[in-house]
Amino acid sequence: MQSLGGYGRIVVKIGSSLLVEKNKLKRDWLESLADDLADLSRAGVEIIVVSSGAIALGRGVLGLPPGALKLEEGQAAAAVGQIELAQAYEEIFAARGMITGQVLLTLRDTEQRRRYLNARATVGTLVRLKAVPVINENDTVATTEIRYGDNDRLAARVATMISADCLVLLSDIDGLYTAPPADNPLAAHIPLVERITPEIESMAGVAASELSRGGMKTKIEAGKIATESGTTMVIASGKRLHPLRAIDEGARCTWFTAHSTPATARKTWIAGQLKPSGQITIDNGAERALRKGKSLLPAGVTEVSGSFQRGDTVCIMGADGREIGRGLVAYDCDDAMRIIGHKSREIETILGYAGRAEMIHRDDMALKDFG
């Protein structure tokens, strides 16, 4: 039996059908979840919440009828519901000593390079400051072309973006079965999935309710995203009170095994799957610092070449011309050239804005092992 308390950073995804009933917030359920999250937080676990429910709440406030909504109606419902949802999280979490911060994302925020880096930095800073990010898809502006359409895959992208080591998908079903149990009474529960194969994918059904855009299919897709990036995933029932506590107490659920750690997966991706857009040459002192696990500061850079933008992959070259690693650069090439050799505190004076202290952060860097 796995314990959530054994993980360092957890993303918890909450479906609309768990949080909202008859267009009203299930406050007692959210309070029980907040109790569970507060317990995990006190145990040192960093928490990120991905929450559905804004449209479902907003349509109740606006008196919209049941059934499919027009795009503009859904966006209006989301605008009203996001306020309702944020207020509920703030009140309930504050009563348990937790600060919350709302983050609204679209597909582009996790797929486009600059937006991805900005979103990652915002969520990471909230976590570092001991706040709980409450993330939702920004349905007030998202259209079919720029939306996820379900929060399962959004939660998986968030988990990989911020290097979480566990993703919890709270659902109206207690895990994966060999067939949709509502249709097949002989369907068997699967407690552990070590690898998502075509056979596993074929077991997924369709959306379970009007409030849910996803279903088991999107949860399996989320599992592929998460586990391939080093994040363990669990699908568990959220229909009971204290759903996270129930997982730790052995309630039925399905665990999906990660193929590596988040840090290893990210560095492998940086090292081998991206085409470098330029080179950054560093001095011997900077190389020694990088070998000790430090970030690359502008002061240690001696030369910049190529044409790259912030977030692109660049080769890190030693003073002797060897490629010693690769990383995601924090500046466009023109700005990088202007600050090389300078102290980080001088960046704002040189560029006219307060950029990042690091040219390449250690988390965004993969070094070669020269033995």
Measured between alpha carbons, how far apart are the two ends of the chain, in Å?
Answer: 38
> What confidence score (pLDDT) does residue 301 get?
97
Chain mean pLDDT for the chain: 88
Q: Is 172 exposed, middle or buried (0-12, 13-18, 19+ CB in 10 A)?
A: middle
Structure-block tokens of residue 138:
């920004």
Contact assessment for residue 190 and residue 177, using Cβ atoms and an 8 Å cutoff? yes
Instruction: Write out the E strands in 129-244.
Output: 131-137, 166-171, 176-177, 189-190, 192-193, 232-237
Residue 34: band (very low, low, confident or very high) from pLDDT cuts 50, 70, 90: very high
**pLDDT over 50 at 30, yes or no:** yes
Residue with more model confidence, 281 or 276: 281
Model pLDDT, residue 110: 73
Most confidently modeled range among 100-109, 150-159, 161-170, 266-275: 161-170
User: What span, in angstroms and rounded, lies between the C-alpha atoms of 39 and 36?
Assistant: 5
Instruction: Write phi, then psi, for 77 (nearest 5 degrees).
Output: -65, -40
pLDDT at 212: 41
pLDDT of residue 217: 86
Q: Is 73 helix (H, G, I), strand (E, B) or coil?
A: helix
Q: Is the pLDDT of residue 54 over 80?
A: yes
At 183 the pLDDT is 82
Asked if pLDDT for residue 314 goes beyond 60, the answer is yes
Listed in order, strand segments (DSSP E) in 106-249 are 131-137, 166-171, 176-177, 189-190, 192-193, 232-237
As a whole number of angstroms, the distance between CA 62 and CA 80 comes to 8
Residue 10's DSSP bridge partners are 47, 166
Q: Dump strand ranges (E) for the chain.
A: 9-14, 20-21, 24-25, 46-51, 99-105, 131-137, 166-171, 176-177, 189-190, 192-193, 232-237, 253-256, 278-282, 301-306, 313-317, 323-328, 365-367
Given a cut of 50, whether residue 371 has pLDDT beyond it is no
In the numeric block, which tokens belong to residue 327? 């990383």
In tens, the pLDDT along 111-142 reads: 667 788 888 889 999 999 999 999 988 766 65
Which pLDDT tens digit goes with each residue over 181-237?
A: 888 888 999 999 999 998 888 887 544 443 344 578 889 989 998 998 899 999 999
